[in-house]
Amino acid sequence: MEIWINDYLRQFHTEYFIRQTMVIFIIFLFGFFINIVFDTGADNVLKALLAFPTGISLYVLSGFFLLVFDLGFTAGRIIFLMILTALLLSGVRFLFVRKSLGTGQGERMICAVFKDISLKYILIVSSAALLTALIATLGLFSVSISNDSYYYFNLYSKALCRFGILKREYNVFLTDVGLGAVMIGTLPHFFGFNESFGILTFFNLDFIAFFFYEAFGYVRERTGKVSTSLIASFTATLFLLSSMPFIIASKWVMANIYFMEYMFICVSLAPRLIRDGRGNGERAENKDMIIFSILFIMLSLLRMEGTMISVFLVLVFSTLRFDNRQLALAFVPAVCFQTLYDIRIFILMDINAPYTFLTERKAVLQGLMMLFVLVYLLFIRGKIRFTDSNMGGLIIAGLAAVNVILFIYDRGLYLSNLKVFYENLTDRGGWGAFPVSVIGILLMILTVGFYEKRRISLNYFDLVTLGYVILSVAVSFARGSVLQKSVGDSGNRVLLQAVPLIVYTLYIHISDLAVSKEVISESK
Amino acid sequence: MKFIFVIALTAITVVLLLLKKEYRSKLILGYVLVLILLNIVYDTLFIHIIVPFYRPFSQCFYQTGFLERGEFPDSLLSMLLKDKKVYVKDDKYGIDEAKAEGKDYVYSYYHMVNAVNYAEFSGAEVIKDSTMNGTMVSDERLKNDFEKLGYANDMFRYTFLMNDYVEELGNYFTYFWYYFDHLSDIYAYINTGADSRGEDISEAEELVILWDSSKTKEEENIYVMTKTYYEDNIRNGNLDQ
């Protein structure tokens, strides 16, 4: 029968391959166009690397909008919305430029919008994207498939395409499955292929390039040496690629991989937006937050605990030199989308299944927390010196306090979950040698730092990584039942999402350790 | 073991870092490279035990590796049923009828309905034919002409997405209980041979899905074949078992 099945599947091979490759390429081009026109201040390499995540985000957001407002979920309407969004964003951009140049400056306006963008650059990037899409879709890269991969991110996606609406009959899928990854799973059903493995692989390849580029940039800024930066970033990327949790998470057809990669992209972009060297001073510009916001919303949509993680990240971003309005601009869309979804399923559809991850009570609590953060950003931040100076410490203390409260609330469940986390980390939970490597690297950094009397303080990435790990324990508690000793356990997968952050945070410290003051002085 | 190795390696590296500052970057590079090698060793030894991997050359969700484990038969079945005319029995049960046969009342709601919903969801035009009622695949036909594609419990469990039942009957948990807890294993079988017209189920425009019609068991396997095969070998042959 195996031969018969292979022969049967072979007849679809070419058509599905071409369709999936073209869909990847077109989404890439769409995101590329947005990144070029909207000029986030990113350099040309970054514009190319952010293109696909941006394109996917806009596809997901368009579909989400149609579903939440019950406007009919069809491929045509999604494409229409995406084009409309692109035109609106382009229009806004041209208006900004026109405002700064004055009227009657048509040609200068176009030059201003497309400065640093040459035809050669566009052709090179597009060709590279097409080639990568072909390679990603060929089937050379393995994937891992579980029940959730098929039923949540293929069958549920197919149901959305077929019925075109959010139905009450979807039941716990509405409260337990983030629509973001489900929406990505609609691409095969709308555009005539059968699976989204090529899309997943392309995203991974794009992400690996992004990680490498971030790592390269970090050492290059400190040493000025390209060769040193290349070696360091290559080693860091290799460490990430060889880590068992990253291999498993990146190949597993689930929402976790998308969440992991979007989270790292957003966390890395935030300090970039306010970094020196943009030529615009030390503050981010409002328009830069649009693309950032488009990417940041995905975190709320990809996973049900994503909203809580978004709340945490916004507070971390508030430790950077953003204006209050800029942070609100990044956060408000995520708040809106989540609130609209909660209203849709709990009030309009009256979903009431016996056991769900997202309950009405949790949705209200989430909403209050989002509101609290918005109030803080708009009315409190910048007014209380203690809070502004110690926000990092307050975040960690707050997360620790939440964990203490949960421990008091249900000691048995809390301790059982911690035990399971430990067992998964140490025994076939998909972590391999990663935990012990992390411990070794940390010991090295701390020991050398102690002997050399280096000042130990939490930097931005330390805050994100440590905070995320503590938050993972709390979020897993919210599931309500004991975690399981299994690589597929939801708590374990939430923790897996932190791997690129952990690797990058350690990389920063190791780089600082390796690049001693003497070397930095020499390079300057 | 790996913990001791890494701690020892770290200790040596730290000492060297403090003593030989001029080689700092090289020492750190070497240290990380050893950790990478350790990662690779663990990946090679254990990763395939923890999760299975597939190379998706087929461009389809269904991987031939699924056959061995009997997984996701519905990912292939949905492709086979798409744009086909599919004939099924029209033998819906009432609650009393189900109970009289010792079956759970839920059987009367799920029997036939979920299979029809699944076929329609897969893109088939489903035609209910009461003249097919009572026909079955005999043990001999099953042994000679059909092959097991895989477990169908999950396939039916998730048909809650396609149903129109309200509240308890239509929700995920009742479906989970019925197909996962209440029933034992059920299977999907397919006939891949050519029928008298020289067509198999991938080529034929008209197919048949039969399910078991046992008066004693609730577990109902499903059997997919061409209509021609059904007319030639099943309709005129077998009665209820």
pLDDT by residue (tens digit) across A396-427? 999 999 999 999 998 888 998 888 898 889 88
Chain A, window 479-498: residues with a beta carbon less than 8 angstroms from a chain B beta carbon: 487
Whether the pLDDT of residue A19 is over 90: the answer is: yes
- Lookup: tokens for A331: 């956060």
Mean of pLDDT values over A477-492: 83
B170 and A169: CB-CB below 8 Å?
Answer: yes
B173 and A172: CB-CB below 8 Å?
Answer: yes
In degrees and rounded to multiples of 5, residue B221 shows phi and psi of -70, 160
Q: Where does the pLDDT of residue B241 fall: very low under 50, low under 70, confident under 90, or very high at 90 and above?
A: very low
Select the residue of B40, B60, B74 nearest A9 (Cβ to Cβ). B60
Residues 6+ apart with CB under 8 A from A328: A374, A377, A378
Whether the pLDDT of residue B39 is over 90: the answer is: yes
Over the stretch B42-99, which tens digit does the pLDDT of each residue have? 999 989 888 889 999 889 999 988 999 899 999 999 999 999 999 999 998 898 988 8
Whether the pLDDT of residue A520 is over 60: the answer is: no
A2 and B162: CB-CB below 8 Å?
Answer: no
Per-chain mean pLDDT for chain B: 91
Neighbour-count burial for A423-454, b at 16+ CB within 10 Å, e otherwise: bbbeeebbbbbbbbbbebbebbbebbeeeeee
Spatial separation of the C-alpha atoms in residues A176 and A196, rounded to whole Å: 21
Helices (H), B51-184: 65-69, 73-81, 95-100, 105-110, 113-121, 139-145, 153-157, 167-170, 172-176
More confident residue, A356 or A310: A310
Chain A, window 298-357: residues with a beta carbon less than 8 angstroms from a chain B beta carbon: 353-355
Q: Where does the pLDDT of residue B224 fall: very low under 50, low under 70, confident under 90, or very high at 90 and above?
A: very high
Whether the pLDDT of residue A96 is over 80: the answer is: no
The ipTM, to two decimals, is: 0.92
- Lookup: tokens for A491: 């708590």
Burial (CB count within 10 angstroms: exposed 0-12, middle 13-18, buried 19+), residue A418: middle
Over the stretch A241-300, which tens digit does the pLDDT of each residue have? 999 999 999 999 999 999 999 999 999 999 888 764 343 445 566 677 888 999 999 999
Q: What percent of chain A has pLDDT over 90?
A: 60
pLDDT of the residue at A281: 43
DSSP conformation letters of A264-308: HHHHHHHHHHT-TTSSS-SS--TTHHHHHHHHHHHHHHHSTTHHH
Spatial separation of the C-alpha atoms in residues B112 and B210, rounded to whole Å: 10
Whether the pLDDT of residue A357 is over 90: the answer is: no
Q: Which residues of A touch B24 (CB under 8 A)?
A: 513-514, 516
Burial (CB count within 10 angstroms: exposed 0-12, middle 13-18, buried 19+), residue B94: exposed
Give the side-chain half-sphere CA count within 13 A for B176: 9
Chain A, window 387-446: residues with a beta carbon less than 8 angstroms from a chain B beta carbon: 428, 430, 432-434, 436-437, 439-441, 443-444
Residue A9 contacts B where some CB pair is shorter than 8 Å: yes
Sheet holding B206-211, edge to edge: B125-129, B85-89, B206-211, B222-226, B187-190, B147-151
Whether the pLDDT of residue A372 is over 60: the answer is: yes
Residue A134 contacts B where some CB pair is shorter than 8 Å: no
pLDDT of the residue at A457: 74
Spatial separation of the C-alpha atoms in residues A154 and A197, rounded to whole Å: 11
Residue B23 contacts A where some CB pair is shorter than 8 Å: no
Mutate one of B59, B120, B161 to test the A interface: name it (highest A CB count within 10 A).
B59
Closest residue in chain A to residue B42, using alpha carbons only: A432
The set of long-range contacts for B197-202, using a CB threshold of 8 Å and a minimum separation of 24, is B197/B226, B197/B228, B199/B226, B199/B228, B200/A4, B200/B226, B201/B80, B201/B225, B201/B226, B202/A8, B202/A11, B202/B80
Mean of pLDDT values over B3-27: 90
Whether the pLDDT of residue A428 is over 80: the answer is: no
B51 and A515: CB-CB below 8 Å?
Answer: no
Chain A, window 10-29: residues with a beta carbon less than 8 angstroms from a chain B beta carbon: 10-13, 16-17, 20
Per-chain mean pLDDT for chain A: 88
pTM score of the predicted model: 0.93
Closest residue in chain A to residue B194, using alpha carbons only: A4
